[in-house]
Structure 1
Amino acid sequence: MVNSSKVSAESVPSGLIVHIGGLLPSLSPAEQRVARLVVAEPAAVARRTITDLATAAETSEATVIRFCRSVGMDGYPQLRIRLAAEAARLVEPSDTRVVGGDIPPGADLAQIIATIAFNDARAVEETAEQLDPAICEQVIDAITVAGRIDMYGAGASGFVASDFQQKLHRIGRTVFYFPDVHSALTSAALLGRGDMAVGISHTGTTSDVIEVLEQARARGATTVALTNYPRSPIAEVADLLLTTAARETTYRSGAMASRLAQLTVVDCLFVGVAARNRTQAREALEVTADAVRSHRVGSARRRA
């Protein structure tokens, strides 16, 4: 497995705020209070003493130090330095209607549009910044040689899994998507060495997807997980772990920014696979496009 619950200072990505946000569910309740302050106001925290931060988070200085180590920092001084650098590079929304990236009660439609556009763009940019090219290469390698690939996801993540399946299928890969957990489990039970299973879950806690990946892994298939939280349960059943960086706000249940972040990763993987054999991929895309051309209004080829 490539994922680990231990984090060193050297392994912490340049996007420290994104990194902390991804680890937040795995922290203790007291450390989470510290983390939320850090994520919400990195510049302000960088100026605070450890005592001030501990007081604001209603915890102890010892907890702040534990938090620093949990996110890969040697101590509070290093955290302040990294936060100051992070705050300096963060791009603030140019639209004054976007305040804090959230949608306040009573917001008019113009403010809703501006805020959603900002959050979606930030999710895509931050996902790209923290995406590990080396892990992506390993996933692309596995897709390229896999005899069969199964995709799994529930809810909004299921739509992303279906999108990935369709993309890879159009360039000649043998790929299946199973939205029903019973069908998914029976499919996973028939996988073996040389096959691949991909599970997508924003929270990393969707039990159906985790169970299917466990089944696939037990049969010898290579397992890949795509999640927003690198220490979530799905990481424990993944041979290769990919992460997004989406910060859902008011309407989290709508899975808006997270879906776009997942699609960003999926598109990167798809293009990476297609680039391995450009001629074959181009021919497959042309053939499949031609197969449905007669079903488009205005096409020269009319249905009888």
Structure 2
Amino acid sequence: MDSLLFLLELKLEDLPESELKIANYILKQKTNVIHQSVMEVAKGAGASTSAVIRLCKSLDIPSFQELKIMLARDVFIGTSARNEDKGVPDDPASATTKELIQQTSISSIESIKDLAKMVSIEHCIEASKLLIDTVFIHAFGIGLSNGIAFDFAHKMQRIGLLCGYSQETQMQMITACNLKPGMVGVVVSHSGNTKEMVRAAKIMKQNGVKVISITGNPHGDLVLFSDIVLLAPLSEPLKRQGASSSRISQLVLIDMLFSLIIEHRPETYGEYLAKTSKAFN
């Protein structure tokens, strides 16, 4: 079942004002909300009870009771609960320097642990074989995800795989239009709903290009236009910490792909690694 806190963070920007009040109240008072009625939540948020019900519908949750069950699951067994157990505050703005360092470290460690639990070995193997057999790869990503795309392209080129990369969004869109069947596009989107990346994936899919997506959202629009979906966990809310822990899990996921590719043809790719390493020294 989806994380309620994740769904709220994902949809915050799209919610009308009345529902936004409810969403922000739940995010700030999540432990209290578990024990509150619809009327109490509405009063606490300064909104109407109908706004609470509308928020449930916006999140595709059948009832307020179901919303509270999802919230309880997040609070008591989710990332927030793990942090609270270790004495780490939910709000970085109120943390001391020591707490902030501890929080960042714990979040990063938990992100890698979560990745190890949820990563699909089958999808990773399938993706690595697709990357080996293709004639050309191009990595896509904007904002924070652009750095992940760069790391992916860098690793592919280190072992002799032809992989393109562009930092500029319009150039990425042009490339998406010009890729042909037999080629592969690797699209990185933290939320899975970045409109430019969804559009690029859709264009490539229409042109017969295979699309591998790296995302934290299994229900994002990007998934609809992907042949292989590689999930990296969202270990913090989308607006917190610049998504640092999620970037770490995505980088580790790319390292996994890199290792699998080398494992397929160790002599060939080992030779490329030796050549590029020698060039750096």
Q: What percentage of residue pairs aligned between the two structures are identical?
A: 20
Q: Match of 1:36?
A: 24
TM-score, normalised to structure 2, is 0.75
TM-score, normalised to structure 1, is 0.70
SS in 1 for 2:149: helix
- Matched ranges for 1:61-80 at <5 A: 61-80=49-68
Q: Match of 2:70?
A: 82
What root-mean-square deviation, in Å, do the aligned CA atoms of Structure 1 and Structure 2 show?
3.7
Structure 1 unaligned regions, length at least 5: 1-11, 298-304
Please state if 1:48 is matched with 2:41: no
Query: Counterparts of 1:104 and 1:175 in 2: how far apart (Å)?
Result: 43
- Larger deviation: 238-247 or 192-201? 238-247
Aligned length, in residue pairs: 276
Q: Match of 2:109?
A: 121
Change (3 A) 1:150 1:211: same
After TM superposition, give the deviation of residue 179 of structure 1 in Å.
1.9
Larger % of helix: which? 2
Change (3 A) 1:278 1:224: closer
Q: 1:267 aligns with which of 224, 239, 255?
A: 255
Q: Match of 1:4?
A: none
- Matched ranges for 1:125-204 at <5 A: 125=113, 139-140=127-128, 142-202=130-190
- Larger deviation: 132-141 or 47-56? 132-141
Q: 1:102 aligns with which of 79, 92, 108?
A: 92
Q: 1:288 aligns with which of 266, 272, 275?
A: 272
Query: Counterparts of 1:237 and 1:117 in 2: how far apart (Å)?
Result: 34
Query: Counterparts of 2:248 and 2:58 in 1: how far apart (Å)?
Result: 28
After TM superposition, give the deviation of residue 160 of structure 1 in Å.
0.7
Query: Counterparts of 1:81 and 1:38 in 2: how far apart (Å)?
Result: 13
Please state if 1:278 is matched with 2:263: yes
SS in 1 for 2:75: helix
Query: Counterparts of 2:39 and 2:108 in 1: how far apart (Å)?
Result: 35
Change (3 A) 1:222 1:289: closer
